[in-house]
Amino acid sequence: MDTILITGGLGRIGTALCQQLRGKYRTRSFDLRPTDEADENYVGNITDIPAVADACDGARAIVHLAGIPTNAAPFENLLDANIRGTYCVYEAARQAGVKKVVFASTNHVSGMWEQAGVKIPADAPVRPDSLYAVSKAAGEATARYFADEYGISSVCLRIGGFSPTDEPRGFRNLYMMITHRDMAQLVDKSIQSDVLFAIVNGISNHPKAYQELENAKRLIGYEPQDSGAEWVKSMDDDSKRRYDELSWRELDRDEMLHEWSRVRAK
């Protein structure tokens, strides 16, 4: 059974992946504290390259989740955990000879498109909605560099909403949440894929999604099993009305570039 190293294995997504992928892979968590959900635990900081490289021993792939997942943190903290930390994980992978990294990016990398009411493909021009999103965009660029320079295959997942309870929390999740089993499938397909580099959106199959899934389906074979259509049935009347009124502008590439270069999102 292949071993995968999950940085941030104690976090919300890391915990769910350890549970969902049990039996498919041997899960090894690298975090500041151990977790009961993983098969193995390494304790340390992702900015410690030798420690991460040691945890890579025998691993088929790294699923890099560790970092600060909020814009509330000072930029200096985001710089250390998200930008420097991601570089250190890739450098550890290079030193240890790990040739596959799945990088947890975020929908916020293109979040200003959402605020502008535009439905986006995974290859939309980067339009971050926060400094947290800026740090994740830097992570995607780091992944691209290590792919070109060292041949380390990377799939960057622009993850939508994720709920520890596996149930939608708030209206926004009705069009951009990813369930636990869809998240596990997305990661598994990314590990198994033969692409050198890809950026894919990470959501379940929502009828009114603002993130397109064509790249994820075409490049890595992702086919979400869950749909937000089931959640809509249990909404109150006001939420149903808002949902019915929800729509996204669809722009072609030239229109998108024109707006990106000339128009503020808000």
Q: Give catalytic residue positions.
A: 132
For 53, other C-beta atoms within 10 Å of its C-beta total 19
Q: CB-hemisphere CA count at 13 Å for 154?
A: 27
Beta carbons within 10 angstroms of residue 219's beta carbon: 19
**Residue holding tokens 């990088």?**
103
Written as six digits, the tokens of 16 are 């769910």
Q: Write phi, then psi, for 104 (nearest 5 degrees).
A: -80, 95
Q: What is the DSSP letter of 171?
A: T
Q: List the one residue out of 128, 124, 135, 86 whose CA is nearest residue 109.
A: 128
Beta bridge partners of 32: none
What residue has token string 């692409």? Answer: 195
The order of strands in the sheet holding 59-64 is: 40-43, 26-31, 3-7, 59-64, 100-106, 153-159, 197-202
Q: What are phi and psi of 121, to 5 degrees?
A: -80, 170
